[in-house]
Amino acid sequence: MVLLIQCTDRKGLVATIANVLAEYSLNITTLREFVDQDSNQFFARFVCEGSADYTAIKTDLTIALPQDASITINPNPDKKVAVLVTKEYHCLSDILVRNHFGTLGASVECVIGNHPDLEDLCNRFSIPFHFVSHEEKNKETFEQEIISTLNSYTFDYIILAKFMRILSPAFVATYPMQVINIHHSFLPAFIGAHPYRKAFERGVKLIGATAHFVTDSLDEGPIIAQETISVNHTFTPADMVKAGKEIEKSVLAKAVQLILQDRVFVYGNKTVVFE
């Protein structure tokens, strides 16, 4: 059993939770907790052995914990994802390989592309591919076609695997904190398009990638994972792009794994991540 709790902090919370779990003969095998002192917020992830009435446990915890407590017990272990792409294949191919060998942590239900370029790749892995063109239509119509396609599937998260279109607030509101993006920059540096060109022009010595939840603010949603690599004066923009693709795959894979294992709490525009 996995138990996730977020609430206002107070003394004795861990003991209170442990006592409730003990009453149901559950053995705590893993416990990670954190208190944000500035907001006085408590976050905890328990992994327990044993079986019990989850509804009864949640009722008892609701009574014992602060009134604002968010309690999730045994999140769905068999998660599903949809993937949105444009033309770049490196992130999608990594996802499909992990899905094929059962190491992704979820099943890929479908891939939707605003160009047809990656259909053959999806066909090789027997994953449904849907081409939804953005050309000669306004954003509302384009996004509604994507939503209509997504409505044919059941999924927990949408992964933007180099989907090079800015999503509208209406689309984001349809899937709150369900859309995960990989940005080819170490945010908050070089927000928006062409970050490698901007990094080259600035003469930086580090480039990176950032996986984050998508919000209404471009590339400013809660950050899940980041990594950097060193570059130097000999790197051209093309060299940076080539190096960046490898780190983009790594960061996106890490972020997806953390989310699918229920290790990420979102609070305001920040995250608490129990790695």
The three-state (H, E, C) secondary structure of 131-145, written as one string: ECCCCCCCHHHHHHH
* CA–CA distances in Å: residue 21 to residues 7, 45, 89: 17, 13, 46
Q: Please indicate whether residue 219 is annotated as part of the active site.
A: yes
Strand partners, 208: 228
SS3 67: coil
**Are 131 and 116 contacting, i.e. CB atoms less than 8 angstroms apart?**
yes
Angle at 245 between CA 219 and CA 211, to 5 degrees: 30
Of 60, 117, 120, 219, catalytic:
219
Tokens for 79? Answer: 């998660």
Give CA–CA dist 13/67, Å, rounded: 13
DSSP characters over 169-223? HHHHHHSTTTEEEEESS-TTTT-SS-HHHHHHHHT-SEEEEEEEE--SSTT-SPE
157: which strand partners? 81
To the nearest 10°, report the CA torsion of 48, 52, 55, 56: -110
Q: Six-digit token pair at 95?
A: 């996802």
Residues with a catalytic annotation lie at 219
